[in-house]
Structure 1
Amino acid sequence: MIKLHYDEIANRLPVEVCRDFAIFGALSDQAISYLIEEGTLFSLKVKEELFSVGERSDSFYIVLEGRIAFYKCSEGNWAFLSDYNPGEQIGFVGMITLQPRVGGAYMETDGTVLEISSELFHTFQIKYPEEFSVMMINLVREISRNLIQVGNMLVDLTADVGHKTG
């Protein structure tokens, strides 16, 4: 991972582009700029690890460019769960639940991510309380969609055509 300064990517990722990302939906340009400038930007190469199982979950990441694959680990078994694309977040659930990372995140393409630490998230809440509420709705919406996707995967894996209801 290579740490970046926003000036290095501002021409290809101006606030006007970031505004269209789901996680920033309905946030002001000022709030988006604050998060991008106060967060930590990283450039990653294909196959590079963003985080691994067991690491502290004291931040989450917003995908700005590229695609990330997330693999969940349970009792030594690994399974692919989801891809994360520009405008989506990864790691928020772990940060909020105060649990170590439960899997590994790996770049599927070259990309750029924005790390939002728990400290920055807290400061954002204080500095932009109304926008924080909107961002929370955006986060919950994305997590809810992920839960539906995982539920569908579970059904696909365990479906018993002889026991349909309804």
Structure 2
Amino acid sequence: MIEEIAAEVRQHLLLSSMSDQAFAELISHCRIVHLGHNESLFHQGSEAHSFYIVLSGRVKLFRVSPDGQTKVIEVVSPGQAFAEALMFLDQHKYPLNAEGMEPGDVLLIPRQYYMKLLMAEPECAVRLLGSMALKLHRRINEIETLTLQNTRHRLGHYLSNLAPDQTAQSCCFDLPMAKQLIASQLGMQPETFSRLIKEMKSAGIISVHGAEINVHDLSRLRAFGH
């Protein structure tokens, strides 16, 4: 099974800079973990022995506040990695919880072997730094969206980015997860999310049928909240 997905993950930014020999050695120590719906992969505070690449399904990264409220930090889709930053820190505990949102598979990459091979190939480490810098830049933009923009702008920005064709005037798509999880990821209460969706509907910007969003004017959706 590992051999079947090796070519698929070989192009990932965390692995593409490795030599063929180093990659072959690393992949021999990896394993595939199957996750069921809402099945936990690791808990906040547990030993961070590995990082992961999502092969199928989606993985939710979240915290639980002392009062029991779930705060979604990120939803990881196929082809994306998570917990990889811990490989380069002294911190050896996962700072978040991770669980499958639906049945799927993740590739478990052991920290010990990855760092050993990376240290043996300095040129690989330099190329990896460039890739990680690009990812950090995207994260900074996401933080700016959450901290500097109001809730109306955040939701308009989030929904408009889901449009399959960014040049179209109208489009249709399904929400990638439950509405309360989207609200949590955008830093708003579910009640606020519902109120803003109603505003968009009343203004004729969108119509909603369950998880399906029909956008009637994508430019107005982008401008919502400005």
Give me the TM-score of the superposition, normalised by structure 1.
Answer: 0.70
Between structures 1 and 2, the one with greater strand share: 1
Question: Which stretches in structure 2 are left out of the alignment for 5+ residues?
Answer: 153-226
- Once the two structures are superposed, the pairs formed by residues 23-102 of structure 1 within 5 Å of their partners are 23-73=14-64, 75=66, 77-95=69-87, 96-102=89-95
- Identity across aligned pairs (percent)? 23
Shift in Å, 1:80: 0.9
Q: Secondary structure at 1:18's aligned position in 2?
A: helix
Q: Identify if the C-alpha distance between structure 1 residues 27 and 93 changes in structure 2 by more than 3 Å, giving closer, same or farther.
A: closer
Q: Secondary structure at 2:93's aligned position in 1?
A: coil
Q: Identify if the C-alpha distance between structure 1 residues 109 and 64 changes in structure 2 by more than 3 Å, giving closer, same or farther.
A: same
Q: Does 1:142 align with 2:135?
A: yes
Distance in 1 between residues matched to 2:105 and 2:125, nearest whole Å: 23
Tell me which residue corresponds to 1:5. Answer: none
Q: Identify if the C-alpha distance between structure 1 residues 100 and 67 changes in structure 2 by more than 3 Å, giving closer, same or farther.
A: same
Greater relative contact order (Cα < 8 A, sep 6+): 1
Q: Contact (CA 8 Å) 1:71, 1:105: kept in 2 or not?
A: yes
Shift in Å, 1:98: 0.6
Question: Which stretches in structure 1 are left out of the alignment for 5+ residues?
Answer: 1-7, 160-166
- Once the two structures are superposed, the pairs formed by residues 127-166 of structure 1 within 5 Å of their partners are 127-156=120-149
CA RMSD of aligned residues (A): 2.9
Shift in Å, 1:79: 0.9
Give me the TM-score of the superposition, normalised by structure 2.
Answer: 0.54
Tell me which residue corresponds to 1:112. Answer: 105
Distance in 2 between residues matched to 1:72 and 1:147, nearest whole Å: 20
Q: Identify if the C-alpha distance between structure 1 residues 9 and 141 changes in structure 2 by more than 3 Å, giving closer, same or farther.
A: same
Structure showing greater radius of gyration is 2
Aligned residue pairs: how many? 151
